[in-house]
Structure 1
Amino acid sequence: MAQLAQLITPVDTVVSRMRALDATLPERDGVAVFNRVYLAVTEEVDRRLDAGEFPDAEAAITLDVRFAERYLTVAEQGCAPACWRPLLQFRRHPGVRPLQFALAGINAHIGHDLALAVVDTCRTLGCEPADLEDEFERVGDLLVSMEERIREDLMPGPDLLQIADPLTHLLGSWSLERARDATWSAARALWALRGLPDLAEEFGTRLDAAVGFAGRMLLTPLPD
């Protein structure tokens, strides 16, 4: 058993926790929709780690795990910062589409949690954000490709994709690439403010609230 335990990486543990959530949440639940998306992303990161595609595996694993732990705390314990509250509030609303749930979760996790995870990782490894930029970009590129697949899988049929359709209009206002760029800037700002805890806390609170506002807009209930 000891030898087997040594083969289980922290990413494997994260994957196991997400699979456990998937088995217990109702399929249509908004958190369940996001969890399935995030599980697929994390499994792909784990596969690429095993394939040696991350030059600095320790940094990639630490960032991935610190990042995931922030979501898992919300999903498992219900203790949610402002960015996650819209998804928890609307998770069973019949007027919210699965694609909205998925993107609202991505918005909360990328827009807020990832910036804090970069800072957590820098503290853990004793490095600077610049030292994590390659890993950040690799994970970000994977998320962008996954977002494209999510939109294809969860978007309603072609008859609903007219430019005036409310869902098309709503989701066209949010971009993962823009969110990722803003997150990197936020992470660098938080790191620069680490010696000024009051300002860092204020910045983090405002970031949390702004991301939560965007999430609430993404979850606007739509007519059938």
Structure 2
Amino acid sequence: MLSRSSEVISFARAFLEPLAVYTLLSEKITLVDLAFDARVNEVYTLAEAAYQVHLNDYKIAAIPPALTYGPVVMGWREKRVAESATYWWQGLTRGRLDPAIETCIHRDAGRLTTVAEFENRYLELFEAPQDSRSKSLGLFCNPLYNFRPEDRPVFWRMLMCQLLIYRRISARSRLPEGIKVSHRFSFDMRDIDTIQRAGEIKDDLLESSLNVALQYSSGLLGGK
């Protein structure tokens, strides 16, 4: 299920790294920590939300304008070739997501794996397709294979949701603790310009995915 593509390996690590940071943080942070510093609480809440995006593919697909999405059906292997937007699985279960994240964690050292360490682990699992960790990592990478927004519209929406969340984490981390910020999310127009300049996504698909991401994120911090 895995691919030796250097692009897939690179993107897999890029997507797994912040989730691995969240995993390590969640094992150390306490309710006292979260109650003491509102900024830490917000960043942690957002990091958890980024994790949840991978589990909420059906929810994100159903946000208006709803997408037709049903990858768990009889004959999915054949159907996903003919209609990948509908039948290609673009999310994960927690039972597959957590083992995939572990490939980006060096447990003995209590840190993230280096780029080289991750690549070595990935290639070891590539050679061991029957290993359950290989299957979990393969499923995590599944939406990346031959990715195009129109062929993986749910995953594209998920990426836009994560773009909002990670940008907010970055901005909030730089602000002093006492600064109050709105619960409303907004896109950085520089990001939108970058996507548009790539010229590989239709305007209507881009617009709908941005609107969906804003709807999805609207209640993440408890406000509208």
TM-score range, shorter chain: 0.3 to 0.5
Normalising by structure 1, report the TM-score: 0.39
Q: Which protein has the bigger helix share?
A: 1
